[in-house]
Structure formats: structure tokens, C-alpha cells
A and B are shown apart, each in its own frame.
Chain A
Amino acid sequence: MKHIGNVGLIAAGAVVVLAVGACGGSSGNGSSSPATQVGGSATLWAEWTSTEQQDFLASLAPFESQSGVTINYSGKGNNTDTAIASAVAGGAPPDVALVPDPATVQTLASKGSIKPLDSILGNLTSNYGSAWNQLVTANGKLYGVWFKGANKNTIWYNPAEFNAAGITSPPATWEDLIKDAGTLKAAGIAPFSLCTDIGWPMADFWQNVYLKTAGAQAYNALAAHTTKWTDPTVTTAFTTFGQLVGDPTNLLGGVQGSLSNNYPDCVDKVFPKPGTQPKAAMVFEGDFVTSEITANSSNYTGGTTGAGGAACTTDASKTPCYNFFNFPAPAANSANQGAVQGAGDVAIMLNDTPQAEALIKYLAGPQGASIWAHLGGFASPNNKVPSSSYPDSVTQADAKALVDATGFVFSLDDLQGTWEKNMWQDMLDFLRNPSSTNITAIQAKMEQEATTGLGH
């Protein structure tokens, strides 16, 4: 991200220093043995810079002191994949790297540029669900260790609004979601603040619908374009999506209001700053939404009760709350309920040195992840990281969804290369006209764009 609030940067730095002091000792009851003294140094690359870099290094501090290994870290930002590819080609790769997508892992594994980790990790591999290990397995060998995960399967809601509408528990199925939208409308509350922007939030939303209706396997096939965009599963996803966004009474401001809803303004409509009332009850986007919410006011508490156990209020100057529920699958597709769409960073080993092996084992354990979890803005799919490491019930639930994922897929639009922007526009096209004739036209258009853009 090019712009992180600069004031926030300074503040975050201060927080990290204090927090590390506060929870430096809180390591989990990990099933990883503390690293034995190894000494030497290791080069480590990852995408994190500025605040995230500080947090990451804080989580590595125990490793450095326990093993005596000096870590030379370099943050590569958005160019991590390119940097690693050129380093490998140039013959001087780092010892360990964390990459943000599994496709890179697969490519490097097939070229033999990274080392299999089964023998090094031993039974540490059980720290991750099969859905996760599968993503970084090639030819039956495990090549990566997941360190950080992000959940994009989250629909955020304002608990005070749900209470005012008498909705006591968030919807468990897609049908429940539509029903709850109706209940909210009867209560006079706009159900959804729909983020449109240049279309990427709509694409994220649609991808989740596709994942929950067609399943993780079909999702990956579509992402790779082995399934065509004219496939009936795509039509089903559009029609299902249309049940919600095709009815303008479900959207704050109707279609025109939604089209003017940029991110993060759409979040502010549900979780406003003090002085404004919330205008809608729900907003969909990934878990990075929480940073926008807490920036609006420090009064916001994660969960279904406000600060100090008080009831959640719509008034942001009192005790407002924020919470999420997992993106619901239609009742008929309940098998897909555990499928999660998101992002993550996986550690790979490029040079087999004792230092690198020790580092990989540490990253596979819960200790490092727990430290960062404590600092906030972090979730790990490692099932040995204790819930108590997370600062509130929201992040706990967020992490749990990652850990329990029965299938994990990466953001489809990010895998579409040059036609990604066209895909976003097509989603806006759908919002403007959700009729079935337009769906057919859009599907044909997307198929053509995919073929041109992906070259197959």
C-alpha cells in the first residue's frame, strides 16, 4: 500500500514497542520445541514494510535470542514475487522467504528452487489443516509453512442495528441472509451498504457467492479458466448474488447510491464516526475493514457487547460495536460453508542451511504468530496458536475461520492478470442491470475477456 497514515505510522511504532514489552513473554503452549543454539545468520525476505515489518521482526525476536541466529530481513512490498524470481535466476536467493501466493510456491517447487520441508518439520505439519498444506504440496511433498492468513469471507454488521431489528443471531445460510435483509427493511433499516468503487469489492463479493455455491474445487477451476465463464455455475452465482443486490430496496441509496459508494466510505456508513448515525446494517469486505472501523473511533468494540459490557449503541460516541459473520452458503450447498476465500503468506526455504531449517521450524510453531496476533492486524491458520493471543472476540473468530477452513482459495480476481480490471467493470455492469438477459451477455463478455487476457 502506498499510503499508510503517516501519523498512524509513528503511533503504531510506539504501540509495537510497548506491546512487545507487554506480551513478550506470552508464548503459546506450542508443540514446537524452543530452537537450540545454532548461531550464524540467515537472509529472510517478505512483503512487509513499515509497521508490519516492525511487528514481524518483533515476532522473530525470541527466535533470534534462543537460537543465536541473526536475521537479515528485507521487505519487498508488492514486488516480492518478482524479486524472488530474479534472485533465483541470478543465483543469489535469500535463505527463507515468505510469499503471498501459493502459485509462486508451486512454480518454484516444480523448478526445484525450493526445498521440501516434510523431514525438517516432522509432526509440525499437523499444526495446519489439510486445506492449507494441500495448497503448498507438490508431487506429494510439502514445500511451505503458512505464517499469516487473511479472511475475506467476512460480512461485517453493526450489532446495535441487528438488535433494533430483533435479529438475535447472524444468518447461517444465504436464505437466512435474505430473510434478515427483509427483517431489517421492515424495521426501517437499510440492510446493505454496498461498496462498488471501480468494482473490486463487487468482484470480491461475487467470488464469495461462487465459492459458497460451487465449492472450492470449481472455484479454482474457474480461476485457472479450465471452466469457462459461460458455465452454468457462473450463472447460478450471478442469480444468487442478484437475490441480494438485484433488489434495490436492499441497498443503501439504491443502485445510484451504491455506485457512488467508494471504499472506505461504504464502511463508514455502517460504522460511522461519532456524530453521525449509521445508515445501513451490513457491509461486506475482508478483515482489513477493522482498521477503518477502529480509526473512525476508539469507542468501537469487537463483539456483541460494547465497552465495559454495556449494550451496543448506534451512537458512535457511546459504546458502539462491530462484529462479523462468516459468508453464508445457501442451505443446499452447506458443504461449502467451511470454504474460505482469503489471502496469506507462506514461508519457503530456498537454501538448506541449519539456520534456515531452524527458522522454518520456528515459523511453523505458534510462538512467533502469537506475538504478532497480540499486536493486532494479524491472523494465523496455525491451529496451535491459542485464541487468547488475539486481542478480542472478533479476531479470535476470524482466526478460527482460517484454522477450521475445509477449503482455502485465493482471491480469484487477483489471478486474472490483465483482464482483472475488465472483470471489475463487468460486476458493476451487473449491478446496473441484474436481469437474466444481461447476465447471459455479461458471461459471454467475460469469457471473451478471459480468453484474450489469459491467453487460453
Chain B
Amino acid sequence: MSAVQAAAQPVAARRRSRFRIRPAKWLLNIVVILVAAFWLMPTIGLAIISLRPESLFQQSGWWTVLSAPSQLTLQNYQTLFSQGLISGGLLDSLLTSAEITVPSTLLVTIISSLTAYSIAFGRWRGRTLCFFIIIGLMVVPVQVALIPVVQLYRAFGSLTGFNPFGTVLGVIIFHVAFGLPFGIFLMNNFYGGLPRELLEAARIDGAGEWRLFSRIVLPLGLPAAASLAIFQFIWVWNDLLVALVFLGASKHFPLTIFLFDQIRTLAANYWIISTGGMVSILVPLIVFFSFQRYFVRGVLAGAVK
């Protein structure tokens, strides 16, 4: 190392360190802590409201519980849960949400995998066109399909006697359709990264398409499928518009409609709203924390939904 270089080094180091001294670390941490506290506050507020008796809601804010922790009670939850499976009640809505979400998620995951397999590994003409159509479909708003699907269901009903409108099945069918574009996109991306030699080798060994899919591609694609499943789960669980259109007048409806009704109903009581709200966010929260890594992957992989 020449003398010049040796001399230059401390200068560069000093320059670096001078520019590294920024607003003190402690200030930064305070700002970040404040932001985090502000972000947590709404959820904590809701939780506390649900844990306080209704009569206190108008009298004093939920933050007063900090000085009077004895206010907290599980009464609201007990009341709502003890109603059992009354149609239109909290537990019934919880069940209906699950009835809608689980099959939708499973169907989207499976069919996306199948379709993506065909597009990624198939050799038929027009695959690329299909792929671009899928990309295009990803941003189509559900509004363009609502009315025709209602009409479709009615037509199906007069033809076969079973009208999916007003049934959980009708909602599932709709959700799957609008989950497929993103699902196919995600799975196709992942499959595209798989080594083709693996499949070629299996093909040479005489494996058919189904074997290729079920024995090789599907297991390899599990992480992506998990991402997709979790993302879809939370998306469908939280949907309001589609459920309103198809199940709005039905006896059983999902949690989002339960909350929507409570906010609008003529006998609104905040203890129901807050308790129902907490239950409604608890499920996605559990799913999220259990499968964090997959969920984030799903979100990042297709930031266009």
C-alpha cells in the first residue's frame, strides 16, 4: 500500500464516519416507537372496548381503563357466545365465514396449480396468450361480473331447479373465479423457476401428465401453494361486497355482513360491534402469525391484486 493510499484511507474513513453521524439514534428510536404505538392503538382500543361493559361506552373513553383496570370483563363475549348458533348471530356468522372461505381457498389453490401447470409445462399453442389474458384478468374489478352472474345463477336455477343465488355455494363459485387469475399467476411464476430437466427426465421415464403433476410439481410447489392459500384465505374471509350481493338477504351470512348489519341496524350497540370485530380479526390474525412467511411471500409475489 502506497503512502498516498495509506493517507487516503483515514481521510475516507473520517469522511464516512462524519456522514454516518445522523440524527441521534435515540431520536430515531423515539420516532419509531411513537409510530408503532400509534399503529397499535386502534386495535388495542377495539379490544378494550369489547372488554368493557356497554354502559361505560358513552361515559368514558376506553383509555380510562388504564387507571381503572377493574372495568375489564369478558361479559360481552360470554353473552354473544352463549347465544349459540342462532341464525344471524355471531357464531353462526363465524361458521358461515368458514364455510365460504375454506372451500374457496382449497379450490383456488388446486385449480390454480392445475392451470399454471398447463401453462408452464404444456406445449400447446396459445399458452402465452392465455398467460397474458390471466394478467389482464387480475385487475378486473368484481363489479363487472356481479349482475351477469346473478342472472346466470337464475338461468341455471330455472333450468335445473337449483339456483345458487343466496347460497354459500354461489359465493364460493364467484370467489374462486376472481381468485384464479392471481393464483395462476403466482403458481406459474413459481413453476417457471423449477428445473425443466427434472420433468424431462420423468417424461423420458414414461410418466404421464398426472403423475408429473402430482408426484413432482405439486410437492415442489407446496411453498408457493401455501402462500397462495393463505393470501386467498384472508382475502375471502374479509370480503364484504360479494357476500352482500349474494347472501345479503339470506338467513346465514358471514362475519363481514354481521358487522355491516350491526353498524347499520336500528338497535346498534357498540358492545356487539366491538366484540364481533375482535372475533372477526382474530381468525386472520391467527392465520397470519402462524404462516407469516408464506403470507408475506404471497403479498410480495403479486403486488397487483
The interface of chain A, by Cβ under 8 A from chain B, is 1-7, 9, 262-265, 268, 272-276, 292, 295
Assess the B55–A275 pair: CB atoms within 8 A: yes
The chain A residue sitting closest to B272, CB to CB, is A5
Task: Report if B290 contacts A (CB, 8 A).
Answer: no
Assess the A6–B58 pair: CB atoms within 8 A: no
Assess the A2–B265 pair: CB atoms within 8 A: yes
A65–B54 Cα gap in the complex (Å)?
A: 45
Assess the B267–A5 pair: CB atoms within 8 A: yes
The chain A residue sitting closest to B249, CB to CB, is A2
A–B Cβ pairs within 8 angstroms, 19 of them: A1-B265, A1-B266, A2-B265, A3-B88, A3-B262, A3-B266, A6-B83, A6-B88, A7-B83, A9-B86, A263-B266, A264-B266, A265-B268, A268-B58, A273-B54, A275-B56, A276-B58, A276-B59, A295-B267
The chain B residue sitting closest to A288, CB to CB, is B266
Question: Number of B residues whose C-beta is below 8 Å from A?
Answer: 16
Assess the B265–A272 pair: CB atoms within 8 A: no
Give me 6 other A-B pairs in contact (C-beta within 8 A), A7-B79, A264-B268, A273-B55 excluded.
A2-B88, A2-B265, A3-B262, A3-B265, A6-B83, A263-B266
A274–B58 Cα gap in the complex (Å)?
A: 11
B239 CB to nearest chain A CB (Å): 19
Task: Report if B261 contacts A (CB, 8 A).
Answer: yes
Task: Report if B89 contacts A (CB, 8 A).
Answer: yes
Assess the B267–A264 pair: CB atoms within 8 A: yes
Assess the B267–A6 pair: CB atoms within 8 A: no
Given the complex, which residues of A lie within 8 Å of B267, measured CB to CB? 3-5, 264, 292, 295
A9–B84 Cα gap in the complex (Å)?
A: 13
Given the complex, which residues of A lie within 8 Å of B59, measured CB to CB? 275-276
Taking each of A2, A7, A264, which has the highest tally of chain B beta carbons within 10 Å of its own beta carbon? A2
The chain B residue sitting closest to A277, CB to CB, is B59
A6–B58 Cα gap in the complex (Å)?
A: 23
The chain A residue sitting closest to B83, CB to CB, is A6
A275–B54 Cα gap in the complex (Å)?
A: 11
**Chain B: interface secondary structure?**
loop
Assess the B58–A272 pair: CB atoms within 8 A: yes
One digit per residue, 1 when the CB lies within 8 angstroms of any chain A CB and 0 when it does not, for chain B 56-97 equals 101100000000000000000001000100101100000000
The chain B residue sitting closest to A272, CB to CB, is B58
One digit per residue, 1 when the CB lies within 8 angstroms of any chain A CB and 0 when it does not, for chain B 255-284 equals 000000110011110000000000000000
A272–B56 Cα gap in the complex (Å)?
A: 12
A55–B107 Cα gap in the complex (Å)?
A: 47
B197 CB to nearest chain A CB (Å): 60
The chain B residue sitting closest to A268, CB to CB, is B58
A121–B58 Cα gap in the complex (Å)?
A: 53
Given the complex, which residues of A lie within 8 Å of B266, measured CB to CB? 1, 3, 263-264
A265–B55 Cα gap in the complex (Å)?
A: 13
One digit per residue, 1 when the CB lies within 8 angstroms of any chain A CB and 0 when it does not, for chain B 25-59 equals 00000000000000000000000000000111011
Given the complex, which residues of A lie within 8 Å of B79, measured CB to CB? 7
The chain A residue sitting closest to B89, CB to CB, is A6
Given the complex, which residues of A lie within 8 Å of B261, measured CB to CB? 2-3
Assess the A274–B55 pair: CB atoms within 8 A: yes
One digit per residue, 1 when the CB lies within 8 angstroms of any chain A CB and 0 when it does not, for chain B 141-155 equals 000000000000000
Given the complex, which residues of A lie within 8 Å of B89, measured CB to CB? 6
Taking each of B86, B88, B89, B267, which has the highest tally of chain A beta carbons within 10 Å of its own beta carbon? B267
A271–B104 Cα gap in the complex (Å)?
A: 47
A42 CB to nearest chain B CB (Å): 28
A264–B266 Cα gap in the complex (Å)?
A: 6
B257 CB to nearest chain A CB (Å): 10
A31–B58 Cα gap in the complex (Å)?
A: 51
